[in-house]
Amino acid sequence: TQICCNMTTNTFYRNRLPHWVPVGATVFVTFRTQDSLPGEVVLRFKKRLKEIKYELSQESPGERKRLLYLEQKRLFGRFDAMLDSRPQGRCVLKAPGIAGILKERMESMNGQWYDLQAYTIMPNHVHLLIDLSCQLEKAESHSQYVQLDRIMQHLKGGSSRFINLQLGGKGRFWAKDSYDHWVRDDDEWERIYRYILMNPVKAGLAKEWLDWPHTYAKYP
């Protein structure tokens, strides 16, 4: 694939944390079930991120941006390793019926709001790689462009309803926050793409990425 380089307008949305996603970007998203990590662990990660931002506040804008990007990558690595090595909660996403609901939801938006490039559904979290640039060819105005926050609301909100129905439960199924990272170049895209495919192997769930039934790759 080739990363779009003509992205000059940024979109911004705020949930519990701020997110910046350029219009037409390729985005790596990780979202998790509500019971996947204890609340105190999540708060500890958020506290550390705030500390890092404060520690870098005296750097020049360019250097601060570069260092923050590296620190955020390190924090995400620790966060994801914890999800993989010590899976908590009911881990219901590994059930074929539950994973099937999520697959159908992700694939329903493919070609309309994004180009679906890869995903893997882990027992209590999901890695997703999508290219939003397909919207640029269709949207006649900026107001018609569907931003990432709306896409995630549609994905998580719709799937949680049907998952709860199947499980006989109610209430929040997905954790409110999602981790998203826009892909800067082709080299980074290749690293993330491989990371997604190999995550079940790294977590000890499969010997080869093709063995894990809940993985999709547009470019095998």
How many other CB atoms sit within 10 Å of the CB of residue 153? 12
pTM listed for this prediction:
0.82
Band the pLDDT of 20: cuts 50, 70, 90. low
Higher pLDDT, 106 or 44: 106
Kindly tell me the sign of the dihedral angle through the C-alpha atoms of 55, 83, 15, 148: positive
**What per-residue confidence (pLDDT) applies to 65?**
81
* Identity of the amino acid at 21: V
- Whether 41 and 85 have beta carbons less than 8 Å apart is answered as no
Q: Above pLDDT 70, what percent of the chain?
A: 89
Which phi and psi (to 5°) does residue 216 adopt?
A: -125, 135
**What per-residue confidence (pLDDT) applies to 16?**
40
Q: Find the angle CA(142)-CA(147)-CA(153) to the nearest 5 degrees.
A: 145
Q: Residue 177 gets which letter from DSSP?
A: -
**What per-residue confidence (pLDDT) applies to 141?**
61
Q: Above pLDDT 90, what percent of the chain?
A: 51
Mean pLDDT throughout 112-139?
93
Band the pLDDT of 117: cuts 50, 70, 90. very high
**What per-residue confidence (pLDDT) applies to 179?**
87
Band the pLDDT of 139: cuts 50, 70, 90. low
Q: Is the pLDDT of residue 13 over 80?
A: no
Band the pLDDT of 7: cuts 50, 70, 90. very low
